[in-house]
């Protein structure tokens, strides 16, 4: 798969420490891919999902080519190399995601071969980091309990359909998605506001990498939107995630989602960068 002597080679378990050090140069932007690198890094399968450009001990960049295609702190030259390398291969990623400038560079040599499968371009996704969460809220937010999986699952499905635009129940009837939800709850990484058995708000710590907890899957039940629940729950979420998981709390949001952006700003988040996502 890899040309002998070429700049792009698979990450090996023996090179994990150098790869992680490189990814931790930008833990906020690299949170999703970095968490996956840490998860599989000591297993031989890491070579099937991660590659590096340049020198193994001090790479010019990393590339996650698993369920997502995502560059990690890559130079312009490395991004071009990665793009040309992947253009010659069949796509298996469901999305391309990373800092906007990096994705624009990576996508240029990929567009001709992969562009026909694109479902949506989301070029501008503000990357946010929580500041001062302010005074305690009254949202009654707390970690979900294992026995609440059946209440959380419909909320998670609704979030996925609304945010990603596809149904997570397709294919295997939702078994793999339910397994993911169950695991997040088991690890104390799903937070909810629940009333009379109905989830009104949910959010997940989708990725943990170094000092960063990245929030995914934020959802407010439609009939409770516009009344301040999202703002108050997000402020509570920042405090609880810092207590339970990591000192820095981040997320990214579509630029067109004005209600969410207002809620995040009101709960202490500020922009520190811009990501892009290309969905297939």
Least confident span in 15-24, 125-134, 190-199, 249-258 = 125-134
Measured from the Cβ of residue 273, the count of other Cβ atoms closer than 10 Å reads 17
- Token pair belonging to 215: 């929030």
Evaluated on CA atoms 14, 78, 89, 6, the torsion sign reads negative
Q: Which pLDDT tens digit goes with each residue over 196-219?
A: 999 999 999 999 999 999 999 999
Residue intervals of the chain classified under CATH 3.40.630.30 are: 142-274
Q: How far apart are CA 76 and CA 160, in angstroms?
A: 33
- To which CATH superfamily is domain 142-274 assigned? Gcn5-related N-acetyltransferase (GNAT) (3.40.630.30)
Residue 4 confidence (pLDDT): 39
Q: Which residue in 28, 93, 17 sits closest to 59, CA to CA?
A: 17
Q: Which pLDDT tens digit goes with each residue over 35-89?
A: 999 999 999 999 999 999 999 999 999 999 999 999 999 999 999 999 999 999 9
Domain spanning 8-118, CATH architecture: 3-Layer(aba) Sandwich (3.40)
């Amino acid at each position: 798969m890899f040309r002998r002597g070429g700049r792009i080679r698979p990450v090996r378990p023996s090179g994990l420490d150098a790869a992680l050090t490189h990814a931790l140069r930008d833990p906020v932007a690299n949170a999703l891919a970095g968490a996956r690198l840490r998860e599989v890094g000591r297993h031989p399968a890491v070579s099937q999902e991660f590659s590096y450009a340049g020198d193994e001990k001090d790479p010019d960049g990393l590339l996650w080519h698993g369920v997502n295609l995502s560059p990690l702190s890559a130079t312009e030259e490395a991004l071009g190399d990665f793009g040309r390398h992947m253009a010659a291969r069949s796509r298996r990623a469901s999305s391309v995601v990373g800092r906007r400038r990096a994705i624009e560079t990576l996508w240029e040599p990929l567009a001709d071969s992969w562009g026909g499968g694109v479902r949506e371009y989301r070029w501008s996704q503000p990357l946010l980091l929580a500041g001062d969460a302010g005074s305690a809220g009254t949202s009654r937010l707390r970690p979900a309990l294992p026995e609440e999986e059946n209440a959380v699952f419909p909320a998670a499905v609704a979030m996925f359909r609304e945010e990603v635009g596809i149904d997570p129940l397709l294919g295997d009837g939702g078994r793999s998605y339910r397994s993911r939800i169950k695991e997040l709850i088991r690890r104390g990484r799903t937070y909810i506001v629940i009333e009379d058995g109905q989830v009104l708000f949910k959010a997940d710590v989708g990725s943990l990498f170094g000092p960063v907890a990245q929030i995914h899957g934020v959802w407010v039940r439609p009939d409770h939107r516009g009344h301040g629940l999202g703002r108050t729950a997000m402020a509570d979420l920042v405090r609880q995630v810092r207590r339970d998981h990591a000192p820095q709390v981040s997320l990214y949001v579509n630029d067109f989602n004005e209600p969410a952006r207002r809620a995040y700003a009101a709960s202490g988040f500020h922009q520190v960068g811009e990501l892009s996502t290309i969905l297939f």
